[in-house]
Each structure stands twice: as structure tokens, then as C-alpha cells.
Structure 1
């Protein structure tokens, strides 16, 4: 008889956590950052699931730390990928806005979504059923998965044990916070015993974390600058992680090239991008999100250095069309 279970592995940035539904139809929830595909592949094998027999990858949302391994698994093993229809449309049309990769300057290799998921869909794995719950906020196509039998929730980046996912109001819309609040309210009314998020430890008291997230978002709705800082620090921290730090002399020119940085400076903080560089660095240092190592600014969060050139010719959706054509 198959040893059926939900297997959770917490891992460091830049990847999201690994969650394997090991069952008659085994499913991997999110595939991690592209530089960690070897680790992801080993995780499956170590748990006696051959990558070629993996039934599918289900993405909670389309950011690079959650979908970065899709390209590898689809090309090597023909792995089936499922995602919410709002994400899937952008992905399959290679829309410039897909994954917000261009705006964020984050690499995502080309992949396609085979199955469009929507709220209320049920995924059968053999001994378990997972209800798809559309939980927009962090992204418009964000989903959570609820295991009916075990009252377990896989919540992606909607909320974490002591945090919430950042909000991309420039690409997902200014209504993002209100959508997240509605999503959290919906989850707060469910019977959930345990939750697995995209980052951090398993959440043993989901109700508390959900309520804390709701309180925080309500405060942000009254103080927009606070959630803008939350987003800025997380985006820049992830940049520092992907690049294993930035040299002091390259920071200004790099940031001023980034869409997210320009939008935040001009529209959220009402200043020029050039002036906002030192403001952001000061806040990164003050908050402990980053520190100097000599003349190189590095992220303070624990992470595994990608140790590779993650930026390739086709690493942005705007260039996927050429790959598809070839």
C-alpha cells in the first residue's frame, strides 16, 4: 500500500517551500526558484516519487520563487502544470506582464499552463481531495488549496505565520489589499487545523495568523506608505538574494533601471528615483533587511546563493515568444 501523506520542506530564499502531496496521483505545490531545480528533483526522488511519474505541479501563483522550476520539469519530464485561469491566460500568451517578471526584474524561464483552475474546483489525489480556493491579493490569480479530509490549508503567500505577502498595486491594482482582506475573511470562516505557507514554518494556529494578517492589512489601508515600505523592502531583499548582493557603485544605476523602483519612488513616496536610492538603502539598513559586507550590500535573510547566471536570453516573458516559435 502506498505511504500516502503531505510532505512539507521549509527552504531558504530564493525558493518557496516544497509541498508534496504523495498519493496515487502525486502533486508538487510550486516548483521553487529556477536555480534550485536539482534540490527539487532530489526532494521528489528521496520521497520515492519519480519525477517522470509526478502527476502535476500546481502553482499557488506565478512569481519566480514559485514557478521557476516549471520550465525544467516540463522540458525534461513533460510535467503537467496547473494554475488559476487569471495567471494561466498571461502565461500562455507570453504576456509582457506575466509573473510581473519584467517589472520586478526577476528571471522566469518559459513554461505553459495545461490546466486552468478556478474557485471551487476539486483536485482528487486518490485518498485526498483538495478544494481550490481563489484567494487574490498577493496576486490576482493567487489560490489556496484546502484538504477536506485533514482540514489542512496550503496558502501560498497570502499569509505566513507572522507576516503577509507584499502587494503589487502597480500591476495587480490598488484594490489588492481589499481583495486580500476578503480572501482572509473567507479563510477565517473555515475549519483549518494546520496551514503551510510559501515561506517559513508550518502554521499550527492558522486562525491566529489569519486574524493578525487581517489586522495588519486594515492598518495598511489607513496608511498606504506602510504597505509600500513593506513591498519595497521585500522586493529589494529578493533582488539582493538573487544577485548575492550588489556592489555599492552599481546600486544606483541598477535601481533606476527597475520598473518597481521607479513606480514606488514617484507614485508611493512622491520623490525622484535618484533621490529615493539613498532613502531605500537607509531603510534597508535601519530595519535590518540588509547590511554592508565591505562595499557590497547583502540581504540579511538566510538564503542559498543561486551560484549561477539566472538571467538568460529567454528569462523574461517578453522573450518567450521567440522560444515558442523556435
Structure 2
């Protein structure tokens, strides 16, 4: 009997715990000799993550965490799960030194106003190495663009790609390197080209449901993503505007209610940590926060209550 977390596009050995914001999906390989989860969600969802994992593992202890990258919505459950299960944590090598010293500034947690309890790592997911998951070989592939340290996992025999935030059915993650003055648009385009060359039959994204090529969804997602990266690269302010809206919406979902002053403080923190973003805007965090609050209301990501915005 298939487990309720199994997906019709996937083998029974792979369970996808599809999460809503604030958490990334958790991809579980419960029957492995070393039961493994790929990505662990956000810290405020840690109790739910543990409950869902225990259901997926059906009593077996988690033995290993693999992180596609270390953004807080993908690694925020690491500390709790390692404390509970005593499991190993494997991370991409690009951020290993930052984890060793726990540099919250360079790991992006401080400037985004997001939480991620400190965790250790036991091994590295070296690009082009192979890991065993669900009885299959998965190749670790670099996935620059959204986060230059990010990796994807590719099972050639099954045609399955764990794409993290490089490709969703509707888009991809914010191109954060560009906000620091580091090229990222061309790198994201190259990652999309790599995915196109792989020709996956099914993509398991970092957010949202798995989608397949049986109905053309993978090709459609790639075409839309290529169009979007071209549109973003034509005017960098578009990427910065998107980043601010995403960061503010994320924090609002966590806090549930924020004043305009609190939003302005988050805008200022984003500017302080992202010099290229700061150069794109006037020195008016309060005005920008008010504008972004109106944008969140316009797209129904928030409602207004006087001088505060409230999560829907």
C-alpha cells in the first residue's frame, strides 16, 4: 500500500512532504539503510516537520539530512532534527566555512531577519559526486543562480531531478547574488540550460508539488523560467523589487503582524547587507516599506490595519 506522502509521479521509495511557506518541501527516503531527508524547512515549523517525518519514517530513526542549500527555509529544522535523532548533516561545500564559524551575516540570516538555529555538518555534497538514495544513484549537480552554493540531485536512471529553488513549476528563487553585486542572472540561465539538457521526466521542486513531462509541465516550466530570467536581467531593479516583496512577505508570515516601522527596519537591514540593492533605491526605507506594504495588499499577500500589515 502506498504511503500517503507518496506522489503518483514518483516511486514508492520517495515521499514528498509538500510544505507551504515558510518551509521548503521535505523529501524523504524512509526505506534506505540510512533513512534520509532532503531539506528540513523553517525553524518555526520544526514541530510540524518532526511530526510529519515521524509519520513518513514509520518508526525508523532519521539517519541523515541532505541540504540542497542553507537558506533558512531549507535548513531551519537541521538543529532540531539532529538533536532529536542524532543524525548526520550533509551540506554543499560552498557554505561549509560559514557554518564552521556560524557567520550569520554571510549566511544571510541576519540581514533577512530570519531565524536558523546553529547546526554542524558532518559531510559535504561535492558537485559531481554520487549519493545513494532510495536504492538509486543520484549525482550532485551545481545549481548557481538563486544561491551560488546550491546543488540539485539527479537520478539519471529514473529521470528524476530534485531541483531545490533552481526551478519550480512557476518560477524559481530570487537571484540573491545580484543583490550583493555578484553576477547571477547568467548563472541562473546556465542552470536552466543544464536542466534542459538533462530532460527530466519528473521534477521535485523546493516548493510546490512534483511535476512531470508526461503533460509537458517540465518543458513549460523551463520556457517560462527562461523568459523570466531574461526579463529580470534586462532591468536589475525588477529582481530587487521581487526580493524585497519576498523577504517582507516571508517575515510577515512568520510574525503575522508588522508595523510599517518594523517593515522599514527590515528594508534597512536588507540594504545594509546588499550593496547593489541599496544603490538601486532612494535612501528612504520608510517610504519603500509603505510602497511594498501596499504591493503586498494589492496581491492579497497581506491586509492593512492602520499603520500595520497583517498576514492573510
| Band of TM-score, shorter chain | 0.7 to 0.9
- 1:269 maps onto 2:297 in alignment: no
Task: Give 1:104-119 correspondences, 5 Å limit.
Answer: 104-119=112-127
Q: How far is the alpha carbon of 1:192 from its aligned partner?
A: 0.5
Q: Which range moved further: 105-114 or 93-102?
A: 93-102
1:20–1:29 Cα contact (<8 Å) kept: yes
Q: Distance in 2 between matches of 1:172 and 1:250?
A: 23
Q: Distance in 1 between matches of 2:303 and 2:102?
A: 37
Q: Distance in 2 between matches of 1:106 and 1:191?
A: 35
Q: Which residue number in structure 2 is paired with residue 28 of structure 1?
A: 37
**Aligned match of 1:207 in 205, 216, 219?**
219
- 1:44 maps onto 2:74 in alignment: no
2:29–2:134 Cα contact (<8 Å) kept: no
Q: Which residue number in structure 2 is paired with residue 255 of structure 1?
A: 266
- 1:7 maps onto 2:15 in alignment: yes
Q: Distance in 2 between matches of 1:126 and 1:240?
A: 37
RMSD over equivalenced CA pairs, Å:
2.4
Runs of 4+ in 1 over 6 A off after TM superposition: none
**Aligned match of 1:19 in 10, 27, 36?**
27
Over residues 237-284 of structure 1, what are the superposed CA-to-partner deviations in whole Å (9 max), with x where a residue is unaligned? 0010111121356444x3355234785763122443233222222322
Q: Distance in 2 between matches of 1:188 and 1:285?
A: 36
1:90–1:97 Cα contact (<8 Å) kept: no
Relative distance call for 1:289 and 1:279 in structure 2 (3 A) is same
- 1:63 maps onto 2:71 in alignment: yes
1:15–1:32 Cα contact (<8 Å) kept: yes
2:261–2:286 Cα contact (<8 Å) kept: no
- Calculate the TM-score normalised by the size of structure 1: 0.83
- Calculate the TM-score normalised by the size of structure 2: 0.86
1:256–1:262 Cα contact (<8 Å) kept: no
**Secondary structure of the corresponding residue to residue 198 of structure 2:** coil
1:57–1:79 Cα contact (<8 Å) kept: yes
Q: Which residue number in structure 2 is paired with residue 232 of structure 1?
A: 244
Q: How far is the alpha carbon of 1:293 from its aligned partner?
A: 4.5
Task: Give 1:277-296 correspondences, 5 Å limit.
Answer: 277-293=289-305, 296=308
Q: Which range moved further: 282-291 or 227-236?
A: 282-291
1:289–1:299 Cα contact (<8 Å) kept: yes
Q: Which residue number in structure 2 is paired with residue 324 of structure 1?
A: none
**Secondary structure of the corresponding residue to residue 47 of structure 1:** helix
Over residues 206-262 of structure 1, what are the superposed CA-to-partner deviations in whole Å (9 max), with x where a residue is unaligned? 22212211111011111112111111111110010111121356444x335523478
Q: Distance in 2 between matches of 1:266 and 1:173?
A: 10
1:146–1:152 Cα contact (<8 Å) kept: yes
2:13–2:134 Cα contact (<8 Å) kept: no
Relative distance call for 1:248 and 1:271 in structure 2 (3 A) is closer
Number of residues paired by the alignment?
Answer: 297
Which structure exhibits the higher relative contact order, with contacts defined as CA atoms closer than 8 Å and separated by 6 or more residues? Answer: 1
1:61–1:142 Cα contact (<8 Å) kept: yes
Q: Which residue number in structure 1 is paired with residue 8 of structure 2?
A: none
**Secondary structure of the corresponding residue to residue 177 of structure 2:** coil
Q: Distance in 2 between matches of 1:221 and 1:282?
A: 25
Relative distance call for 1:74 and 1:225 in structure 2 (3 A) is same
Relative distance call for 1:265 and 1:277 in structure 2 (3 A) is farther
1:9–1:19 Cα contact (<8 Å) kept: yes
